[in-house]
Amino acid sequence: METHENLLAGPPPTRLPDLPEAREALESGVQASDVAARFPAYPAAWATLADEYFTSGHAVTSYAFARTGYHRGLDQLRRAGWKGHGPVPWEHEPNRGFLRCLHALCRAATAIGEKDEAERCMQFLKDASPEAAEVLGSR
């Protein structure tokens, strides 16, 4: 019996690889700036920096950190087979850094009055992971 892929189902979910050394450093309390310097391709470090600076009232700096993590995450998504659309599941822990950067970029863009960018980022987040949009939107 021959099986065929459902072409109407859309692209499969993209799951980023884990970076255990970077994740463990961040989880153990190493400063996010040190983790980002040592592991610049690790979006969770950039997301943490974006969150820290936004909370401290530095929206422009938060925007810059979020933008960096977003682009590093896009690079990883493409290497993982992502073609510019499709699910990036929140439940897959290594995806969370990228999704957090996308949310942080939206939040900082809103804060500095960049409405079109904020709307684009929010739509991207909702399309990539409705669960992430819900979880992160409630923070």
Q: What is the pLDDT of residues 44-90, one digit of tens each?
A: 999 999 999 999 999 999 999 999 999 999 999 999 999 999 999 99
Torsion 95-103-71-22 (CA) sign: negative
Closest CA to 56 of 10, 108, 4: 108
Q: Cα separation of 94 and 115, whole Å?
A: 28
For residues 4-21, give the mean pLDDT. 83
Q: CB under 8 Å to 5, separation ≥6 — which residues? A: none
Tell which wins on pLDDT, 89 or 137.
Answer: 89
- For 102, the 3-state DSSP assignment is helix
Closest CA to 95 of 125, 67, 118, 63: 125
CA 136 to mean position of chain CA atoms: 11
For residues 25-29, give the mean pLDDT. 98
- Give the pLDDT confidence score for residue 126 in this predicted structure: 97
The predicted model scores a pTM of 0.92
Q: Are 103 and 120 in contact (CB under 8 A)?
A: no
